[in-house]
Structure 1
Amino acid sequence: MAADTRPLAIALMGPTASGKTATAIALARQLDGEIVSVDSALVYRGLDIGSAKPDAIERAQAPHHLLDLRDPWQTYSAAEFAADAGRAVADIAARGKLPILAGGTGLYFRALLQGLSPMPQADPAVRAGIAAEAAEHGWAAMHAHLGEVDPAAAARIHATDPQRIQRALEVFRLTGRPISEWQKLPGVDRLPVRALKLVLAPRERSVLHQRIATRFDAMLAHGFLDEVRALRALPAMAQVATPLDLPAIRAVGYRQAWEYLDGQGSAAEFRDRGIYATRQLAKRQLTWLRGELDARWFDPHIDRASLADAVSTFVGR
């Protein structure tokens, strides 16, 4: 059997607030690596505090890629991510460095490591038609329609996620075939690397819940609401008819902050809703991660030695 000569990479996965950033930076410093963000919120400029984006001090400790690629009123697809991340990984490997893919967006990891399903490209006319229907009937009705033509997709996509509802309906209308069937097809253009998949997750769910609450309170103390006020004040954002439909503003915490600043609920209720939404995100992330059968799981606080051994064995150091 021929030797596997593909460049090495580490895929550092895990639920939100599990310690991925600190671990990625430590690995990058130890192994002469560079970090490629695999996070759908970190691509947006201005989403810093609420997304736990690496700050200037953390970025100075290790090179980071795929941060601040889009303005918050723009969209960014998994296909765009796969292309951008692929170029970043190729460049890092070509310079003799170790790519460290770190984040919690499962769709991005899947697009990068398994390849994208060969679905049709976006069709502006079809998308415009779906958007017009949504404007008239509401996205909840569009989600219900999706449930009629693709129950599997509707069960996976939340009724408040217009971008994914629109894409699923678009694919069905273009091909007559549910997007859930397309997604079962073998991926194409997968990243040509040999990746060690590592999942960071506390063994006790209560520990993760406490970390989420502590981090959310720290975000509030560091000016998270002022950050959202600044986003709301951007002239381009003021031109958006339904800002809560934007992928950036739907990011966990930001939606709840936006609604609070719109006058929905008290400060205490906003905090509770933000923490609850973050816990629900972590739950969805863990569900996806359990499907990664070739990933190795570590508690970042208990299993440090075994995590270090796994990485050392993989890179041959």
Structure 2
Amino acid sequence: MKKKVLAIVGPTASGKTKLSIIVAEKIGGEIISADSRQVYRYMDIGTAKPSKEERERVKHYFIDELNPDEEFNAGVFGERGREIIEDIFSRGKVPIIVGGSGLYVKSLIDGFFEGPAGDWELRETLYRKAKQLGKEAVYEELKRVDPASAEKIHPNNLKRVIRALEVYYLTGKPISQLQVEMKPEINFETVQVGLNWDRKKLYRRIEKRVDEMIERGLIDEVRKLRELGYDKNLNSLQTVGYKEVFDYLDGLISYDEMVYLIKRNSRRYAKRQLTWFRQDRRIIWVDVDDGTDFNELADKVIEIYSRGN
């Protein structure tokens, strides 16, 4: 019988951190943060990172492990995360995956093949071709060499079109074929629990949290990142809450516009997260609102986990 992992998923500001700490303390769990930004140092307020006190109560992984200019992706997260899960099991603890980055959760619990490391020279050539001949030309090229991937990728998603071509030219095989051949074996099953909020109430929480982040010093956090020499165009900083503050500090937008845009873009991000998670029929949704007793909710989640899928 496969060992069981618990995953607590949901949109931003839905209460995942608070709930996961209580659950972990009740069942002897350790938390794997499935968040593509909390892995970076110096990005605490804008990523709503668990506090130092919370991390002292329960062991966390993938928090404060990299500098903002270091590369990190879902494929690497999945590989390292599965090693950590085995280690947690070996010590008689329960692995609890917590986060809102749907692709990261999927990479960890289902596995997917990322392909070979990027070849910058080849990538530059393909981008130049797209600039000279148009996106359609490189998409047509993909249709010729890897029709299965071309069917799944939107012609306007140039980044993914070029990545699929890059993999083909580096390996001689379509990425769609490699994904089937190289998919890792998953030695555990995952019980996924999603936090379900009324949309309007969730949006109000998001807006309140943005106000709190600004009060707690989000602008100074971004100033410090700049002082440390981190460029606003880094992938890690092209993140809701950070890109808007950089624009404000650069004089491109006013303070009020900055606040408005962070709130709007956070709501849009939550909507995208929900769209992703709703597609996964394995997720068991539990209702949450402002009056929810999180201790009782934790007991309910533990009961779902104990029953299994």
* TM-score interval for Structure 1 and Structure 2 normalised by the shorter chain: 0.7 to 0.9
The residue identity in structure 2 corresponding to 1:207 is K
CA distance in 2, matches of 1:65, 1:19: 18
SS in 2 for 1:154: coil
Deviations 1:56-82 (A, max 9, x none): 121122111111121111210222111
Could you tell me which residue of structure 2 aligns to residue 217 of structure 1?
211
Provide closer, same or farther for how the CA distance between residues 21 and 125 of structure 1 changes in structure 2, counting only shifts above 3 A.
same
Match of 1:280 in 2: 268
Unpaired runs of 5+ residues, structure 2, are 143-149
The one of 54, 68, 75 equivalent to 1:72 is 68
Tell me how far apart the structure 1 counterparts of residues 216 and 3 of structure 2 sit (CA, whole Å): 40
User: Do residues 309 (structure 1) and 300 (structure 2) align?
Assistant: yes
Given that 1:118 and 1:182 are in contact with CA atoms closer than 8 Å, whether structure 2 keeps it comes out as no
| Pairing partner for 2:38 from 42, 54, 71 | 42
Q: C-alpha displacement at 1:54, in angstroms? A: 0.8
Query: In structure 2, do the counterparts of structure 1 residues 156 and 12 end up closer, same or farther at CA, with 3 Å as the change threshold?
Result: farther
* Mapped contact 1:118–1:188 kept (Cα < 8 A): no
The TM-score, its normalising length taken from structure 1, stands at 0.82
Which residue is 2:146 aligned to? none
Partners of 1:168 and 1:229 lie apart in 2 by 37
Q: Secondary structure at the match of 2:154?
A: helix
> Offset at 1:98?
0.6
Q: How does 1:70-149 map to 2 (within 5 A)?
A: 70-117=66-113, 119-130=115-126, 133=128, 137=131, 149=142
Say if 1:18 and 1:200, in contact at 8 Å, map to a contact too: yes
> Which residue number corresponds to residue 147 of structure 2?
none
Query: Please, what TM-score do these two structures have when normalized by structure 2?
Result: 0.84
Q: CA deviation at 1:122?
A: 2.7
Q: How much does 1:311 deviate?
A: 2.1
Q: 1:19 to 1:265 in 2, by over 3 A?
A: same
Matched, 1:207 2:201: yes
* Range 66-75 or range 16-25, more displaced: 66-75
User: In structure 2, do the counterparts of structure 1 residues 193 and 265 end up closer, same or farther at CA, with 3 Å as the change threshold?
Assistant: same
Unpaired runs of 5+ residues, structure 1, are none
Superposed, which structure 2 residues align to 1:56-71 within 5 Å? 56-71=52-67
State the shift of 1:125 in Å: 3.2
Cα pair distance change 1:9/1:271, threshold 3 Å: same
Structure 1 residues 178 and 106: alpha-carbon distance in aligned structure 2, compared to 1, 3 A threshold = farther
Alignment coverage as a number of residue pairs: 297
Give the drift of 1:258. 1.5
Q: CA deviation at 1:7?
A: 2.1
Which letter maps to 1:58? Answer: E
SS at match of 2:41: coil
Instruction: Give the Cα–Cα distance (whole angstroms) in 2 for the partners of residues 171 and 192 of structure 1.
Output: 27
Greater shift, 66-75 or 111-120, is seen at: 111-120
Distance change in 2, residues 1:192/1:279 (3 Å)? same
* Cα deviation digits, residues 29-69 of structure 1 (max 9, x gap): 11111111000001111111000011112112211111112
Contact 1:82 1:111 (8 Å CA) reproduced: yes
Match of 1:231?
225
Q: Distance in 2 between matches of 1:279 and 1:182?
A: 36
Specify the code of the residue in structure 1 equivalent to 2:64.
Answer: D
Q: Per-residue deviation at 1:11?
A: 0.7
Query: Offset at 1:153?
Result: 2.4
Q: What is aligned with 1:259?
A: 247
Contact 1:36–1:100 (8 Å) recurs in 2: yes
Structure 1 letter corresponding to 2:281: L
Supply the distance in 2 between the matched residues of 1:121 and 1:170 (Cα, whole angstroms).
10
- Quick one: distance in 1 between partners of 2:238 and 2:13? 18
Quick check: 1:114–1:187 contact (8 Å CA) kept in 2? no
In the aligned structure 2, how far is the partner of 1:234 from the partner of 1:171?
A: 35
2:183 matched to 1:188?
Answer: yes
The equivalent of 1:153 in structure 2 is 153
Q: Secondary structure at the match of 1:268?
A: helix
